[in-house]
Structure 1
């Protein structure tokens, strides 16, 4: 006999776990994760900041709506802080000043920004080259702990008496008489009237298995390296530093520095691995934009960032499949927007009060990719 619940969530990354935890307040939920651990492909490999230099107005609104959760999580959510304060510095060369001006105008409604001249830029981040002569700083950024966040949502789910099943790769999905039945490799089956597709890079595949039209998701690989800072560097005071264009970000990490060339390499849904070309590109861009010499790379990894065609998430019931709910396409901002996204998903599924004042449901509807009304 299948295991039954009110809602099945496919995917144990940040999207699936946060939504499941929120839903578990008012419904019974079963989370199925293909891997043996949560957040394996994307969420657990993220160098996540709460900042507003990422995405567009919609992403910034979701980030702002999520911030209070990180600063004051529910009682018992986590035994350790979900993050720590870290300034965010977006820096620019003289020829990039116009782009920095435009970004400042886009962000200023969401954060208290400080405009910096060359002296201010180098006081905040002495590792930058002399050609970094303009900057904007958000001194109230938060460096999130993705593992603490994932474990907190899992704790919420289990406290409500609901379950996570790992090593539960989906083999088939079918709907009969108003009930979804998901069978995993190994033969176990799970049934519920509502199926939440939070399968990340695999979400289009899950949709096809369920008979719903794919929405055109594209997984993109991103690479991160770690290396030593120059001797005498005060790592505690360094900001999260990002070029105004998507070329490089770096910050301190466990006594070293980490950096990404902000690569977006199209790939299939897979267990992403760091490729030599992107690893070399990361080191090159560090040396191009900073005074650091990357003599040795201590570690390297890659993760998947999966986007919809318009790079905003798809959240809502599929217009072509009853009881099939999309929660996909959170790209590189899934962690920093997870509290707001979870509340949105729960409001749409449980028909409760809409939680966002700056967005409406059609902004996120998967129907926009299928040529149908939201």
Structure 2
């Protein structure tokens, strides 16, 4: 099989980039699993939060907002976002953490509104003593991850892309004519460019193609679904700790999704939640509100992959012609997918950037920053 672009990985990164380029270049996605999105994408409790990931990620998130909120007819025409609201809460004595966050996003479109006293107790009934202040994020929204992923895959297919599942990337050699000879599962393919969108496996894929790794490390993130002994408010916001030790959000009546905000360095594999992390999540939650826990109904974990500076890696490898990085999206890969795909597409196809992302400085995400 021959193609122009071979995208390794059909999670949200590979799927959204395929949708952005398939109309202009013959594109094949190869996916190791029997269905796309089984790992980081399919296990995400994603939300749209313009402050999440810090100032280096904010331009991508802000640019993605309109595309998530009002996608074109080709993407189904229905918003991938649902109203939620966010609340970053601080313990007594941690007010400086909130002040620093406000300072970090000064001059940006990010809304961080101070909340304290009775207003805080109204937004989060049952709040225990010791939590004195917060920042409200009215623009925080839930993302329908499955719908977004499926819409990108469907658009890529309509634009001519081919998806090959059960086809793990096992090696590639750059031929004398400048094309790649690729082995993926039982298939032998040739391609002009290999796009590394392999998530936690990104450095492994680079090594199999002879490219230098970027130091992309997968970190385990744990989630649990709790059934509570009381009903939670229908308007419950996403609640995040200013220290970064937990977050939780409502998931139907009397249920929440909770994470201890863990980041444990791991290796690429089908990761599972560990009992210690589940117990830690519950312990931290019980220091915040007086809500009784009736049962742990579900538990799971996913791998979030970061480059050393925690920014995405988007662009051609400086050491290997025809090898393109689209990796290191960490925990913000869903909320930045539309804008990151457009930015990567402009670099991959060497064309002017789409007006929706034209003010974003692509150089800060370039693989060359690690050269």
The normalised TM-score by structure 1 is 0.94
SS state at 1:40 partner = coil
Unmatched runs of 5 consecutive residues or more in structure 2: none
Question: In 2, are the aligned partners of 1:61 and 1:110 still within 8 Å (CA)?
Answer: no
Structure 1 pair 232–267 and aligned structure 2 pair: CA distance change class (3 A): closer
CA RMSD in angstroms comes to 1.4
Q: 2 CA distance for matches of 1:69 and 1:328?
A: 21
- Structure 2 counterpart of 1:105: 103
Question: In 2, are the aligned partners of 1:199 and 1:206 still within 8 Å (CA)?
Answer: yes
Structure 1 pair 179–229 and aligned structure 2 pair: CA distance change class (3 A): same
Question: 5 Å matches for 1:227-242?
Answer: 227-234=226-233, 236-242=234-240
Q: Residue 247 of structure 1: which of 242, 245, 248 is its match?
A: 245
Q: Does 1:83 align with 2:81?
A: yes
Displaced runs of 4 or more, over 6 A: none
Structure 1 pair 127–229 and aligned structure 2 pair: CA distance change class (3 A): farther
Question: In 2, are the aligned partners of 1:246 and 1:262 still within 8 Å (CA)?
Answer: yes
Q: Tell me the alpha carbon deviations over residues 319-360 of structure 1, each in whole angstroms, 9 at most, x when there is no partner.
A: 111110011101000000001100011000111113434432
Q: Tell me the alpha carbon deviations over residues 60-107 of structure 1, each in whole angstroms, 9 at most, x when there is no partner.
A: 111001000111112041375412011011111221100011112223
Q: 2 CA distance for matches of 1:204 and 1:67?
A: 29
Q: 1 CA distance for matches of 2:22 and 2:207?
A: 27
May I ask how many residue pairs the two structures share in their alignment?
366
Q: Tell me the alpha carbon deviations over residues 189-232 of structure 1, each in whole angstroms, 9 at most, x when there is no partner.
A: 22210110000111111111111111111100000001123423
Deviation at 1:246, TM superposition (A): 0.8
SS state at 2:332 partner = coil
- Structure 2 counterpart of 1:266: 265
- Structure 2 counterpart of 1:364: 365
- Structure 2 counterpart of 1:178: 178
The worse-fitting range, judged by mean Cα deviation, of 312-321 and 23-32 is 23-32
Q: 1 CA distance for matches of 2:246 and 2:126?
A: 13
Unmatched runs of 5 consecutive residues or more in structure 1: none
Q: Tell me the alpha carbon deviations over residues 267-317 of structure 1, each in whole angstroms, 9 at most, x when there is no partner.
A: 011111000110111111110122123342100000000000111011100
Question: In 2, are the aligned partners of 1:80 and 1:148 still within 8 Å (CA)?
Answer: no
Deviation at 1:36, TM superposition (A): 1.1
Q: 2 CA distance for matches of 1:296 and 1:263?
A: 21
Q: Does 1:159 align with 2:158?
A: yes
Q: 2 CA distance for matches of 1:191 and 1:125?
A: 56
Q: Tell me the alpha carbon deviations over residues 250-271 of structure 1, each in whole angstroms, 9 at most, x when there is no partner.
A: 0011441010000001101111
Q: Tell me the alpha carbon deviations over residues 14-47 of structure 1, each in whole angstroms, 9 at most, x when there is no partner.
A: 1111111101131121001111111111011111
- Structure 2 counterpart of 1:322: 321
Question: 5 Å matches for 1:212-223?
Answer: 212-223=211-222
Structure 1 pair 358–246 and aligned structure 2 pair: CA distance change class (3 A): farther
The normalised TM-score by structure 2 is 0.95
Q: 1 CA distance for matches of 2:121 and 2:23?
A: 48
